[in-house]
Structure 1
Amino acid sequence: MPVKDVNELVQTVFSGLSPLVIEDVTDEGERIVVRARTPTEAAGCPVCGAPSGRMHGYHWRTVADVPVDDRRVVVRVRVRRLVCPTRGCRHTFREQVPGVLERYQRRTARLTRQVKAVVKELAGRAGARLLAVLAVGLSRHTTLRTLLRIPLPTGRTPRVIGVDDFALCRRHRYATVVIDAETHERIDVLPDRTAVTLEAWLREHPGIEVVCRDGSATYAEAIRRALPDAVQVGDRWHLWKNLCEAALSEVKAHSACWATVLDAPIYDGPRAQTTLERWHQVHDLLDQGAGLLECARRLQLALNTVKRYARADQPERMLRVPKYRASLVDPYREHLRKRRAEDPAVPVKHLFEEIKTLGFTGCLNLLHKYINQGRADADRSHISPRRLARMLLTRPDNLKVEQHELLAKLTAACPEMTQLAAGISDFAPLLTPHPDNADALTRWIAQVRAADLPHLHAFTRGLDRDIDAVIAGLTLPYSNGPTEGVNTKTKRIARQMHGRAGFTLLRHRILLG
């Protein structure tokens, strides 16, 4: 629709000031000055609410408005001071213009909304820099004060909550975030992760029926004391993570079994000899009746190290497959094997020149290292324990045909590997919540304990210590995933502020998110 006159243009550009009567617009180069006044209608007294049109005097207010054409806009408004007609009330009052001019503010309401939207995402210095580009000059201190003046949402007490901790200063200070597990709304942020703090908060918010959490014993105790009738739901992601760690330990413990299928070398240097000697020392002390702590004291080893040696019933289980990474020489392995079979004394430098003509881009030192490690003589490139564990823990539909074939060979290397693969495949369907998973979990624990898998036995003992929460996590549709998502966003907020902001500001930004 075309603009017909200057007045209509002014009303269009400054439509946010429509409650005011615009009298003049002046271009002063770096800024635009708008002169306006309030309308002549009666205004209500802020104390008694009685309308009054009796004027006592005038007052000029200068406020900033949203920029126009990358230039600041300053609005000078003539505001009336009126006389209250109610006897005994205040003598005079200054009229306000709701939606345009707020009490004691130096910015219009619409500019304040824009500033709040920026500082809500960027906070101090970053918010001030962006506002400067937008022709709104504010210091970082003003932006932070504006951010802290944004009211926090106050909602009802949810029926299902999720709690989790996050680091304020890693390994030193932690805090706790509480969210509504159904709507994913942030509820509160507590200054630490102690049981006393969480218990006090739960007592102040009655009506919570379900609490989603990870395997923290501290949170479990606080919930039990404050809400004895609430259902605690263990996090399925942490259950799977713990199973993955146990499976990796089992795969490492049976390296001597599945490595023979690949003809992969086992460590046989000084480190391997030390490992075998240490295994015999630990088991000799255990046979003499010494406990694990006594073995650790006599051998000057960590208790967890002694436990690892004690779990291995054979010394060979402590030996590992070398952790070789993919090499630039791998594509030329067959050529190297053929040449070394034809001429065992062929110099490495000659082999280097030959594969270089075939496209090898590495250096001579890399080829020396490759041959000295025996990788050129192996029938196939070996896989690391971590890669084998990853194949065991990957959904079968996502594996390639050759990976299925290789996995079948490796898991058939010994009965323990076969039992490990079966245990993982039986546990994975339990992560889909279903009422029948409680009985299925009981059967799975009995099946695993019947096998010679000590690391999975430790995993099942962890399940027993929190069995009610584990069963609830496998049977109920609730999850602590949304809380983990809030923690991920919290890390982004903390990085934006470079760790220099206090807890009050961080809590404010989390709850506004």
Structure 2
Amino acid sequence: MLVSSPSSNLIPLHLIEEEDHYLMILKSSSSSCVCPSCGIRSNRIHSHYTRFIQDLPINEKVVYLQVQVRKFFCTNIHCESTIFTERFSWVEPYQRQTKRLHKVLTGLALSNNCLAAARMANLLHVAISHDSLLRLIHQVEIPVYSQPCRIGLDDFAFKKRNRYGTLIVDLESKKTIDVLDSRNTTTVQSWLKKHPSIQLVSRDGSRTYASAITEALPSSTQVTDRWHLLKGLFDALKQALIDYLPSKWTEKKRVLSLSKSEKVISPRKSDQLREKHTDQKWERILKVQQLYQQGKAVAAIARQLNMSRGTVYRDLGQTKRPDLRRSSILDPFLPTVQSMISEGYTIDSIEQKIRKDGYSGSRSTLNAMAARVRRENSDIYTSQTVLRSKLLSNLWKEDDFKTVIHDVPDSFLETFPHLEIIYEAVHTFQSLVRNQDYQRLEAWISQYEKVTIPSIQAFINGIKSDLEAVKNALYYPWNNGILEGQINRLKTIKRMMYGRAGYELLKRRMLSSLEELF
């Protein structure tokens, strides 16, 4: 408690307990005080007044401190303050909360949007509104960082496809040092000129940032982000496949060499169930006959297998595997149907023929019979399908071209002969980036710049236009990975505030750190 602290100079007078709060009445015990303006101690009391201060809750109740405070005359005739109020170490002047409560509420406001933070504070039995929490954020002192040497730049959207800002991070301390409300050349250039200590700047492939850095800091080193290089390569590969390949390529071959006995026909579900039931019945018949041969009576077999004696007698008289297929009214006309289907007659012609011969069944029965005959007499086709999406994934991930084309037919490679060249260009550049082999970059450009694939040529032209920065990306260890994490944090803060906060509040939240607060 504040009262128990030796440096508090407070005397408890009274404690009032209400249903929802405590009120502690305190009195200052100091007979003198130091003037905050000139630092001279004075013991000349001017008057008394009362301060109401909220402290951390106790026993699920709000705590209020009613403190009787003195005002003093300053004895220094040259001091600008004639009268000053008594100061305490545990509360700031004019503040309605103790320092420890103020710190907790500030941390709560920075951790969430102020509406939710106010609800959370009320659950913790601290009386405060969301407007007061918002004021606490605006009172937080923004940290002042030393002049950075290595920074990273990246853009973010205030409103997608409409308005963008720029995030600046110190690559060495991994902390956000500023948030700009625009990404245009003038704004970025103006900020960079104020920080001449910068020696290295990591960025994406933006020409706007490249131009601003060149103008403001011509002697600094520019480094293109390696992840953006690989993303540009992947986009070029994807566009190349879109321009070069259909989304689905299928090769279908007709097989005529198989005999009827070699054909494998997938049975229908009803046929499968009938075969299963036939097998079960044949197993039961064999079991009945086996028990009878062992000398058991018919009544004993019936009791053991839980069946009637009549069924046992029928099973004993069975000499071959039963055929459970139902007979059809079309069975006498089956040879005619098979012959006419093989000769290419239509169902209508077949129906007219068999009705003249005496068929009186339905058309649906004929349709089912014709479908079964066609399945049995059909030629077998084999097909191979190549999906562009799967091929894209394999071309990007696999380390061996033979693995990529393992399931691809030869006719596909004959139709699209440039596939291997695309694979080699992509994987060679991947190797350069991942191994940071900057010495082979120009050789790679010379080898593949004449490839007649527009998207690959566009990617290479982009590298040539920013060659020094790309070389530096393959030489220096710095990249924009830290910025991507900070931009995710910025997006979380934007969503946390439902996108309704302005630039100043967003910047303050980004630059304020809970770690430094506590």
TM-score, normalised by the number of residues in structure 1: 0.71
Task: Write out aligned runs for 1:477-492 (5 A).
Answer: 477-492=477-492
Q: Tell me the equivalent position of 2:430.
A: 428
SS at match of 2:141: coil
- Cα distance change of structure 1 residues 259 and 66 upon mapping to structure 2, 3 Å threshold: closer
The whole-number CA distance in structure 2 between the counterparts of 1:130 and 1:388 is 52
Q: Decide which of 372, 394, 408 is 2:397's aligned counterpart.
A: 394
Match of 1:392, as an amino acid?
L
Q: Does 1:467 align with 2:458?
A: no
SS at match of 2:474: helix
Q: Is the 8 A contact 2:62 2:126 kept in 1?
A: yes
Q: Is the 8 A contact 2:395 2:404 kept in 1?
A: no
Task: Write out aligned runs for 1:158-237 (5 A).
Answer: 158-237=148-227
Distance apart, 1:497 and its partner CA:
1.2
The whole-number CA distance in structure 2 between the counterparts of 1:17 and 1:473 is 57
5+ residue gaps in structure 1?
1-9, 266-337, 358-375
Of 71-80 and 46-55, the range deviating more from structure 2: 46-55
- Cα distance change of structure 1 residues 19 and 489 upon mapping to structure 2, 3 Å threshold: farther
Q: Decide which of 88, 92, 106 is 2:96's aligned counterpart.
A: 106
Q: Tell me the equivalent position of 1:276.
A: none
The whole-number CA distance in structure 1 between the counterparts of 2:42 and 2:116 is 46
Q: Is the 8 A contact 1:254 1:417 kept in 2?
A: no
Distance apart, 1:87 and its partner CA:
2.3
Match of 2:85, as an amino acid?
R
Deviations 1:286-313 (A, max 9, x none): xxxxxxxxxxxxxxxxxxxxxxxxxxxx
The whole-number CA distance in structure 2 between the counterparts of 1:33 and 1:353 is 84
Q: Tell me the equivalent position of 2:317.
A: none
Distance apart, 1:162 and its partner CA:
0.8
The whole-number CA distance in structure 2 between the counterparts of 1:86 and 1:208 is 49
The whole-number CA distance in structure 2 between the counterparts of 1:170 and 1:46 is 50
SS at match of 1:419: helix
SS at match of 1:475: coil
Q: Tell me the equivalent position of 1:93.
A: 84
Q: Is the 8 A contact 1:411 1:418 kept in 2?
A: no
The whole-number CA distance in structure 2 between the counterparts of 1:130 and 1:495 is 18
Q: Decide which of 236, 255, 263 is 2:251's aligned counterpart.
A: 263
The whole-number CA distance in structure 2 between the counterparts of 1:427 and 1:219 is 24
Distance apart, 1:52 and its partner CA:
1.7
Distance apart, 1:501 and its partner CA:
1.1
The whole-number CA distance in structure 2 between the counterparts of 1:493 and 1:353 is 60
Q: Is the 8 A contact 2:386 2:408 kept in 1?
A: no
Q: Is the 8 A contact 2:248 2:387 kept in 1?
A: no
- Cα distance change of structure 1 residues 11 and 214 upon mapping to structure 2, 3 Å threshold: closer
SS at match of 1:176: strand
Match of 2:87, as an amino acid?
Q
The whole-number CA distance in structure 2 between the counterparts of 1:342 and 1:16 is 96
Distance apart, 1:495 and its partner CA:
1.0
The whole-number CA distance in structure 2 between the counterparts of 1:427 and 1:356 is 58
Q: Is the 8 A contact 2:155 2:167 kept in 1?
A: yes
Deviations 1:76-96 (A, max 9, x none): 111121222222433322111
Q: Is the 8 A contact 1:213 1:234 kept in 2?
A: yes
Distance apart, 1:259 and its partner CA:
6.9
Q: Tell me the equivalent position of 2:420.
A: 418
- Cα distance change of structure 1 residues 250 and 112 upon mapping to structure 2, 3 Å threshold: same
Distance apart, 1:354 and its partner CA:
7.4
Distance apart, 1:186 and its partner CA:
0.8
Q: Tell me the equivalent position of 1:154.
A: 144
TM-score, normalised by the number of residues in structure 2: 0.70
SS at match of 1:263: strand
The whole-number CA distance in structure 2 between the counterparts of 1:438 and 1:379 is 45
Deviations 1:243-276 (A, max 9, x none): 10111222334436x976x6379xxxxxxxxxxx
Task: Write out aligned runs for 1:472-511 (5 A).
Answer: 472-511=472-511
Q: Does 1:130 align with 2:120?
A: yes
Deviations 1:107-159 (A, max 9, x none): 11111000000001113212111111111222221111111111111111210
Q: Is the 8 A contact 1:67 1:136 kept in 2?
A: yes
* Greater C-alpha radius of gyration: 2
The whole-number CA distance in structure 1 between the counterparts of 2:31 and 2:270 is 96
The whole-number CA distance in structure 2 between the counterparts of 1:354 and 1:117 is 71
The whole-number CA distance in structure 2 between the counterparts of 1:354 and 1:187 is 74
- Alignment RMSD: 3.3
Identity of aligned residues (%): 30
Deviations 1:366-421 (A, max 9, x none): xxxxxxxxxx96645x4532221122212649x9x977844798996554211222
Match of 2:468, as an amino acid?
D
Q: Tell me the equivalent position of 1:385.
A: 388
The whole-number CA distance in structure 1 between the counterparts of 2:74 and 2:229 is 69
Q: Tell me the equivalent position of 2:17.
A: 27
Q: Tell me the equivalent position of 1:50.
A: 40
The whole-number CA distance in structure 2 between the counterparts of 1:488 and 1:115 is 24
SS at match of 1:167: strand
* Count of residues in Structure 1 that have an aligned counterpart in Structure 2: 400
- Cα distance change of structure 1 residues 107 and 193 upon mapping to structure 2, 3 Å threshold: same
The whole-number CA distance in structure 2 between the counterparts of 1:85 and 1:107 is 30
The whole-number CA distance in structure 2 between the counterparts of 1:395 and 1:21 is 77
